[in-house]
């Protein structure tokens, strides 16, 4: 067993009997999160946009852990219709859901719109997960100790603000700022959800995590001007996707975790290392902004929460 300052995959408690839904889990951090949870006994649902890739991921998990229980559910977070269909299918198949891990995301994409007209990064990273959580929460609130874990990023500090006057970037577009906005929204959502759950005295908690600088496919949309620096610096700071998954796994399974906490790597600048409690930016903790974002998100998605 690892020490508390080097919390690792072997510290994940037995997950037998638990149901975990993980978005974007066919690759990267989501895949490693699913692999570890399934290996520790959870029934894991890979909620993915590409079913073929999801099936391939499930087979890899089975190869590593033949006893693993893994299902695949189609989910396109850029479509509220798909989110509703997936939530209905999940609710029908699973009367109880212990873990919802909002992991999927896009980063630094060129200006694009979701099916519902939202800026892609804000629509997928925040609004899609906001809607999915609201629809699945009734299945979670009946389960003692259930958790909603939302994956944010260090980028919530960089060029980040919630642009309430132009949430969809209709007047200009900066892909880095748009990503930062979506990751800041992930944290504000977590804090406001936790406040609402606590007010209802529910045992379900909301927690956040970030992977530091991990080797995943997210960098494929990096602006051309930043790619030379990325190639030079990344080998110095990057960690594996498996290490990047540890903050999420700790947020999802550590018995000592409490609602509203935020986990990230312990190394310099939170870029790599074993998971520990970290803090978000001052802006992320502004209650008035959290509540305003919640109201706007409900209006945009048409989803209301049972809290």
Query: Does 179 participate in catalysis according to the annotation?
Result: yes
Structure tokens at 85: 């269909």
Distance CA 99, CA 226 (A): 36
Residue in 31, 108, 179, 274 annotated catalytic: 179
DSSP class of residue 22? E
Among positive and negative, which fits the CA dihedral 7, 39, 197, 75?
Answer: positive
Question: Please, what's the b/e burial string for 78-106 (b: 16 or more CB within 10 A of its CB; e: otherwise)?
Answer: bbbebbbebbeebeeebeebbbbbbbbbb
Distance CA 21, CA 34 (A): 9
Sheet holding 275-277, edge to edge: 69-74, 43-48, 19-23, 99-102, 147-151, 205-209, 262-265, 275-277
* Contact (Cβ atoms closer than 8 angstroms) between residue 59 and residue 2: no
Beta-strand ranges (E) seen in the chain are 19-23, 43-48, 69-74, 99-102, 147-151, 205-209, 262-265, 275-277
Among positive and negative, which fits the CA dihedral 224, 229, 234, 235?
Answer: positive
Distance CA 108, CA 176 (A): 6
* Contact (Cβ atoms closer than 8 angstroms) between residue 39 and residue 51: no
- The CA distances from residue 125 to 11, 62, 274, 301, in Å, are 28, 28, 24, 13
Catalytic residue ranges: 179
């Amino acid at each position: 067993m690892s020490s508390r300052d080097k919390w690792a995959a072997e510290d994940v408690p037995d997950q037998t009997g638990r149901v975990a839904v993980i978005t974007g889990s066919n690759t990267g951090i989501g895949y490693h999160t699913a692999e570890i949870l399934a290996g520790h006994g959870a029934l894991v649902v890979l909620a993915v946009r590409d079913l073929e890739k999801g099936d391939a991921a499930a087979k890899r998990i089975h190869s590593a852990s033949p006893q693993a229980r893994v299902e695949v559910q189609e989910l396109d977070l850029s479509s509220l219709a798909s989110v509703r269909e997936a939530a209905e299918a999940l609710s029908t198949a699973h009367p109880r859901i212990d873990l919802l891990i909002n992991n999927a995301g896009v980063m630094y994409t060129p200006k694009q719109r979701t099916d519902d007209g939202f800026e892609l990064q804000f629509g997928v990273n925040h609004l899609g997960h906001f809607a999915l959580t609201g629809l699945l929460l009734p299945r979670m609130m009946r389960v003692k100790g259930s958790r909603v874990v939302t994956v944010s990023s260090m980028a919530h500090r960089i060029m980040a603000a919630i642009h309430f006057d132009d949430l969809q970037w209709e007047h200009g577009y900066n892909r880095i700022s748009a990503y930062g906005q979506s990751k800041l929204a992930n944290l504000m959502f977590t804090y406001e959800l936790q406040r609402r759950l606590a007010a209802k005295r529910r045992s379900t908690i909301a927690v956040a995590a970030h992977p530091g600088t991990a080797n995943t496919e997210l960098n494929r949309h990096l602006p051309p001007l930043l790619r030379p620096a990325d190639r030079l610096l990344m080998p110095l700071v990057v960690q594996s996707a498996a290490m990047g998954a540890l903050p999420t796994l700790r947020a999802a399974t550590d018995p000592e975790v409490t609602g509203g906490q935020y986990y990230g790597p312990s190394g310099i600048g939170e870029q790599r290392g074993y998971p520990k409690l970290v803090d978000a930016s001052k802006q992320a903790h502004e209650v008035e902004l959290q509540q305003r974002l919640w109201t706007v998100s409900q209006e945009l998605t048409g989803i209301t929460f049972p809290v």
